[in-house]
Structure 1
């Protein structure tokens, strides 16, 4: 019996046997292959059909990320027979190679395929650049099942352009790190502010020289040969002289300059301007420079990825303190695509595909489009190594190059310079603010390298050389504290189109004193102590662009800013100014382009004014790909629902009992008995044994593990004095509290045998864990006898009839919890004031109330079938017992009705809509 993969492949072969019209069927053939044989999730996004080359050719199918090109022929065409193309007889393979030579570097493939529907041939251009040798694979359509690995290798992540660039950049990063570390050893004090800056500048100067000699900005190998010609003892002086030459126009140089220096061009751009502290060089430094020059091709690096890796030379501690985490190319596009890039691509496509345009009108529109690209101004006010700006510049230049190819139509370009310059998009359109001087230097260098690579691509399109040097003076990246600096000094708001970036990830409780002061100074009365540091960028961008028609901004932020108390503090002022969320990515797992991976979960929020059709990107699996959909409105919780703000409420809305904190020890652990050994010791003491009670925090509640405490509410002074176990522990609690910086805690030292706060119920109670896994579909709550002491990681609720238990165990509650409650990492954080007290339960009839209670009891009965199993076991989504799941489904049906649903909800999205509508209705008369 054939497997599913085998069967879909056989079906494909059957569909296409006897077919083969190049003009009519090429696209259908390859989309069918990708979708139904290779099972690619979004095949149309991977391939470009009829891609125009600089030589005015049209590529049948180009897969830029997979680095794969297809030259498709009709079934009647012999793949070995030359055909006349542009006056020359060429085989399909030779034609494909010709197309490759007309592609910009950013789109060049490493594998080509010639195909006539009946037969496939594959050539590896890395080992056979002209495709003149034996194909690396060749087979008929009927043999496809035995050759699927060829396609799998081509479309595997390890073969993708971005992964190859990542690998190259990682290798480059190691070379730079070795060089940087060798240089740092020679400084008297590399951590001194001036020396640290000099070390940063010296490192990026070397990187640019290594790039320049590989990219033909210098004579090939000029820099490496210059280093090799000088011994370590004299290398410092030689480097100082080289930097002076690179910063001096040829017309102003010493006419008697030695030839090894005279051949270097004038670079400009400010990179080599000014003297910096340069230490004596060692053999290790000289060897590191030569190794970097001889064993790596620098022109192939991705400046976006490499810029991030350059910052690896910063210490991890310094990065953590600043909250800096790097953005992958994929995540950059999750910001810039919906912010502006998707629209720019669609606009160009509409010009290219408009059948009603004459050639003159099409060219005029393309010229206007190019001018539009060149007019856009971008600001990243937390730019780090400049990867947002660099990727934006590269993509704008890619669009410009595509427009140029359409305009030139393979004819080349003659008139250069002045206002008629072929290239109009400039790195001058990119503006950045960054507090770290090393990152500023890296960002400028990354933009310069990106500019050179884009020019290389344009040269292929224009069929002639373009001027690469001198560089622009990249003064648009400034070193400053972005929350204190006036962004208008760098780029007046009236000239700015888009603000974007990845502000520092510093949570509300991790902010330094200076960072808190930054937010207080910026927000004034709007500052809320619960706000993360990154919210300062949202707030400042909104005020900066407030009077600019059409301006938009978007930032990556930790997901905590759209949960709990921070939501009204941040979004009330912004929505009050007229800003709306135009697109948003709900929580997804962050993976940074760095060896110091940030273990956080983030969201992306884009904001604009005026009429918007908001797009909400949801993640069925937070580690996977997003699914976008148009929403009616995206509120501050990143939910498609009305703009309501769920703020602290000290009493629950009608219908629910009050939930209270458990008891808080504040004891340094001395009233708590954590192990079986400690428990046995306490039980051996005749006095202490009377006062040992089971103790539960959230962890013990969920995992059904044992823990105990000394509950000495009724113990007499004499008993406590006579018990060595109790007296030693009470003394330790007293010492711990007296050492506290908090006056109320020190005062509690007088009653060191008691818990700091006693909220223990006197009757059986519902215990609610303060933190529980977001993976679970239902909350993990349970009933406890009053002899079990609830700690402060547990909330308690009086629930004699079981109504509150039924409500909190429903999908309706869990949906509200995940939308409104805060999170600790990927765990839900329950609170009484924000989550429970605001749960918008409508007035329930007595009949429906009894049905809810009965359904809740059925859940408890299902649990009782699994004695000894913890709630963690029972509520693991992968192993939840069938009868327990059925009981919860039945519970959901009646609870949905209790919240006002006309019938049981099919999805949690339906529940969210009901919850927010209920909340808006129940609180509409409140201030």
Structure 2
């Protein structure tokens, strides 16, 4: 379940008559517990509660119902219960059906509520559903609750009005929803003269039985499109007295017709329920991203998942420009001249989000800048001064029309809320209506539009005549804009989409940007297009751009493709945030791993590199350089090498069968060949690739050397296998494979004799493992082409590969396959910078490798997957790896590295020095000329 679904279930429970016996189970069901889980609790199989009326779900919650007036004492009993401690519960909860109290055990945070209103605290309990709580949701549940109510209304209206779901009418439906949102907000914030005016009018004037809800709402919308200053205008428009109380809104929001979909009795109920929420507390900065899912068929199934938390947005905006404004504010002190200059500067700052969705980044930027401006006004003793920050300084591009409308509406709501907060309700209301009829959010494909035309640095922008804000042509903005000397910042969270998941249209978008400029552009993530467009924009006018992106654009082969282009425009990385989880409100969903990268042609001398540890603690490093891998290092791009950089063994692919499966055997097939078909055991070898090694799967292969082919062919069973291989290869369209039909006993690609020791390296390994699961195989083992191998290599090479140092290098320069580590011999092993090792170093590392292998062997038959599961890793194996890391890292810097950031900085420094040394031309020997 997601947060919206949970809120709906909790709300339904709070509205149902209280049943003391059933409440604990209904509460758990509301947070997504399965029927089988609840059935076991009912039976008492898993319920270990020692409190009367209690239910204890281990690792989750201990809750109990009680007699009226006994809530506090029952909560104390739950807190003191030995089973609460033993069960490691996250929450305790007690209720008597009149009040409800609960406590989060980890931090002692508590809630107390009337039972009928406890649904408003559903965010407090989201960890019960595996959703990490987010402060904004805990503090104000209105955004999720409103989304759920509107979603129900939207679906009910589409069911009754299927024609409104078509492409021809979808815009009408979305426009209708935007009008409703405005009305709900306006009636609870003083914009309308009377709290609940819209909802109460619909309730009073419409009749569920007669079905006139549609006509009532249409009349209200019509009234808000007729001016009130002209006393005769409303009479001429025949506005009835009961609708004449609604103000003139303008701005195009209620222009262009008053079509309203047909309402069923249920739809009317859903509308009234939505209106009864307290929309005064709405957060336009986070509400927008959730409400856009209401009108999006693809996103509705994941309703509530696309929540973007304010702290995450500020990770982009703070280092982009807000931190600098706050620093200037502090430096100005109470100097009124400096404060005035800063206020003028703020009024000229423009923020552009070319993937704005429902406007989250723009709204947060606006609200933060208003807060700084308000502090300036306070210090200058001008608290009532009207804001000089125009909404039209905050522009965006959004592909879909409904989010674009919501973005404009969210900014309007944000402006009103800021005016109420900083200037007072009376001033805010007086200046709010009528709305301006401007369009400054463009609906279109950001990768196809001309950003410079939509967001010119100075002068007049593209102008299109329009009837108003919400009816304007969405293809272009229409603002006359003068901003000489202003600053320009580009930001956002564009769609990521890896190359394998891009639509044909998205691939075409990237082709239009990259084709002819860089090679291998087809492998780029979709978000790369925004970086390239921002860099092109920055060549025309000074700007700083920062986007949230998948961390894959700063790993592996994408680095060379994308960042060579970005750096070629003269841009550098101004600041960055290394990989972290961009969490959402989906249950059991950890979110995608992202980075934040800021680029500019004029970076500051000291750049900021942000990072956070696994426990969420943040850190920032000030550095002179940030490279494309988001490491504090000189700018360098690691490309594949044909030979190792250091004095280490050569790593090759394993052997490719290219046999149609006829040279490969299961363990049972191998035993059958040996026992029933008299196949010589010399011709059957262990066969191992990535999965065989990691999962412990036993496979065999037929391995025949040239000198033994005639002998092997005498065996009918083997001869039949060879015939099958010959036939399969002969059918191939590839000439190389056809030629292999002449050697049907041999693998298609052979890279070993079959008598070497093998150090095997899986080509893909889970991101959860703390070390790469490298292995050592005895002589006679055949390595699959689905793994890499070092043949007859000294064992100390294994110690290098098994180290934390090598893992972080691979994760950075090789990149990921989905979220797993993807290994490459040419890009990962051959580039791995290893300092010159003494013979003693090699002896020490060999011993470390032996200790790792012996620690694994002690846990036979546990598989590598079992042994390297972080939750199950045996202590002796962990100690062996830590010992290996200590020995190796002392070779590098004389001590253990403090963290992975320091590891990467050293590795890139060493890589830079080693490649530079190899690139130097050999000194020419000048011979002395002989004299007579």
Q: Are residues 1:511 and 2:502 paired? A: yes
| Aligned counterpart, 1:249 | 227
Residues 580-624 of structure 1: CA deviation (Å, up to 9, x unaligned): 222211111221256795742111112232333111122220x62
Aligned ranges 1:50-65 → 2 under 5 Å? none
The answer for unaligned runs of 5 or more in structure 1 is: 1-135, 137-145, 414-420
- After superposition, give the CA deviation of every residue in 1:790-841 in whole Å (9 maximum; x if it has no partner): 3343111113422422321233323322332212344322111211111123
SS at match of 2:497: coil
Counterpart of 2:595 in structure 1 is: 603
Give 2:214's aligned residue.
236
- CA–CA distance in structure 1, aligned partners of residues 889 and 326 of structure 2: 44
Q: What SS does the aligned partner of 2:523 have?
A: coil
Flag the 1:781–1:598 CA change in 2: closer, same or farther, 3 A. Answer: closer
In the other structure, the counterpart of 1:439 is: 403
Matches within 5 A, 1:640-655: 640-655=632-647
Instruction: Summarize deviations over 1:504-563 as a string: whole Å, max 9, x none.
Output: 0201222222212211211232252221110111111111122433x2111111111111
User: Which residue is 1:298 aligned to?
Assistant: 279
Matched residue, 1:379? 352
Q: Is 1:470–2:462 an aligned residue pair?
A: no
Q: How far apart in 2 are the matches of 1:366 and 1:267?
A: 35
Q: Is the 8 A contact 2:574 2:603 kept in 1?
A: no
- Correspondence list, 1:485-564, <5 A: 485-494=449-458, 497-524=488-515, 525-526=517-518, 528-549=521-542, 551-564=543-556
Residue among 483, 498, 520 paired with 2:447: 483
Which of 268, 280, 287 is residue 262 of structure 2 equivalent to?
280
Counterpart position of 2:475: none
SS in 1 for 2:760: strand
Taking the TM superposition and a 5 Å limit, the aligned residue runs for 1:476-875 are 476-494=440-458, 497-524=488-515, 525-526=517-518, 528-549=521-542, 551-593=543-585, 599-608=591-600, 609-621=602-614, 624-664=616-656, 686=677, 694-708=686-700, 759=751, 762=754, 763-785=756-778, 787-846=780-839, 848-875=841-868
Conserved 8 A contact 1:693-1:710:
yes
Relative to structure 1, the CA distance from residue 859 to residue 257 in structure 2 (aligned partners, 3 Å threshold; closer, same or farther) is closer
Unaligned runs of 5+ in 2: 1-100, 114-120, 126-132, 459-482, 921-932
The answer to whether 1:227 aligns with 2:202 is yes
How much does 1:383 deviate?
A: 0.7
Q: CA–CA distance in 2 between the matches of 1:486 and 1:841?
A: 47
Report the counterpart of residue 271 of structure 2 in structure 1.
289
| In structure 2, C-alpha distance between the alignment counterparts of 1:227 and 1:579, rounded to whole Å | 56
Q: CA deviation at 1:379?
A: 0.4
Q: CA deviation at 1:201?
A: 1.7
Matched, 1:186 2:169: no
Looking at structure 2, the residues matched to 711 and 820 of structure 1 have their Cα atoms a distance apart, in angstroms, of: 35
* 1:344 has 2:325 as partner: yes
Shift of 1:307: 0.7
Q: Distance in 2 between matches of 1:666 and 1:189?
A: 56
Specify the SS of the correspondent of 1:605.
strand
Q: Pick from 419, 422, 426: which aligns with 1:458? A: 422
SS of the equivalent of 1:291 reads helix
SS of residue matched to 2:424: helix
Instruction: Find out whether 1:449 has 2:413 as its counterpart.
Output: yes
In the TM superposition, residue 693 of structure 1 has moved relative to its aligned partner by: 5.2
> Against the structure 1 CA distance between its residues 712 and 624, is the aligned structure 2 distance closer, same or farther, given a 3 Å change threshold?
farther
- What is aligned with 2:190? 216
Aligned partners of 2:349 and 2:393 also within 8 Å? yes
Q: CA deviation at 1:172?
A: 0.4
* Counterpart-to-counterpart distance in 2, 1:448 and 1:236: 26
Structure 1 stretch displaced more, 625-634 or 476-485: 625-634
Q: Distance in 1 between matches of 2:580 and 2:437?
A: 38
CA 1:276–1:566 in 2, change beyond 3 Å: closer, same or farther?
A: farther
Give secondary structure in 1 for the equivalent of 2:606. coil
- The change in CA–CA distance for 1:454 and 1:909 in structure 2 (over 3 A counts) is closer
- Kindly tell me: are residues 626 and 902 of structure 1, through their superposed partners in 2, closer, same or farther at Cα, counting changes over 3 Å? closer
Aligned to 1:267: 249
**Contact 2:771 2:804 (8 Å CA) reproduced:** yes
* Equivalent pair of 2:134/2:309 in contact (CA under 8 Å): no
CA deviation string 1:53-106 (max 9, x = no partner): xxxxxxxxxxxxxxxxxxxxxxxxxxxxxxxxxxxxxxxxxxxxxxxxxxxxxx
**Per the alignment, do residues 366 and 772 of structure 1 end up closer, same or farther by CA in structure 2, a change over 3 Å counting?**
same
Contact in 2 for aligned 1:397/1:454 (Cα 8 Å) = yes
CA apart distance, 1:579: 2.1
Q: Over residues 629-675 of structure 1, what are the superposed CA-to-partner deviations in whole Å (9 max), with x where a residue is unaligned? A: 2223211111111211001223322422222223456789887667x
Residue 565 of structure 1 aligns to a residue in which SS?
helix
* Aligned CA distance change for structure 1 residues 617 and 610 (closer, same or farther; 3 Å): closer
Distance 1:389 1:188 in 2: 34
CA distance in 1, matches of 2:390, 2:567: 34
Please, what is the CA RMSD of the aligned residues?
4.2
* Residues 687 and 700 in structure 2, CA contact (< 8 A), matched pair in contact too: yes
Report the secondary structure of 2:495's partner residue. coil
Task: Establish whether residue 200 from structure 1 lines up as the match of residue 174 from structure 2.
Answer: yes
Instruction: Decide whether aligned partners of structure 1 residues 888 and 283 sit closer, same or farther in structure 2, where only a CA change above 3 A counts.
Output: closer
Measure how far apart 1:720 and its partner are. Answer: 9.9
Query: Secondary structure of the residue that 1:457 maps to in structure 2?
Result: helix
Greater Cα offset, 720-729 or 389-398: 720-729
| 8 A Cα contact 1:863 1:884, kept in partner | yes
- In 1, are the aligned partners of 2:687 and 2:699 still within 8 Å (CA)? yes
Per-residue CA shift, 1:132-186, capped at 9, x if unaligned?
Answer: xxxx9xxxxxxxxx9x957899999779962345521111000110111112223
SS in 2 for 1:485: coil
Is contact 2:419-2:425 (8 Å) kept? no
Distance 1:758 1:299, change over 3 A: farther
Are the aligned partners of 1:671 and 1:729 in contact in 2 as well (CA < 8 Å)?
no
TM-score normalised per structure 2: 0.72
Using the alignment, how far apart are the partners of 1:333 and 1:400 within structure 2?
18
> Against the structure 1 CA distance between its residues 666 and 850, is the aligned structure 2 distance closer, same or farther, given a 3 Å change threshold?
same
Contact 2:160 2:262 in 1 (8 A): yes
What's the CA shift string for 1:346-404, capped at 9, x where partnerless? 333334xx3xx4xxx43x44443333222211000011111111111122222223333
Change (3 A) 1:785 1:851: closer
Q: Tell me the number of residue pairs that the alignment of Structure 1 and Structure 2 aligns.
A: 757
Helix, strand or coil: the match of 2:160? coil
Cα deviation for residue 789 of structure 1 reads 4.0
Q: 2:368 aligns with which of 389, 395, 408?
A: 395
Match in the other structure for 1:133: none
Instruction: Tell me if the contact between 1:326 and 1:594 (Cα under 8 Å) persists in the aligned partners.
Output: no
TM-score of the pair, normalised by structure 1: 0.72
Match of 1:11 in 2: none
Identify which of 362, 371, 379 aligns with 1:406.
Answer: 379
Distance 1:164 1:798, change over 3 A: same
Contact 1:377–1:430 (CA under 8 A) maintained in structure 2: yes
Mapped to 2, the partners of 1:301 and 1:685 lie a distance apart of 76
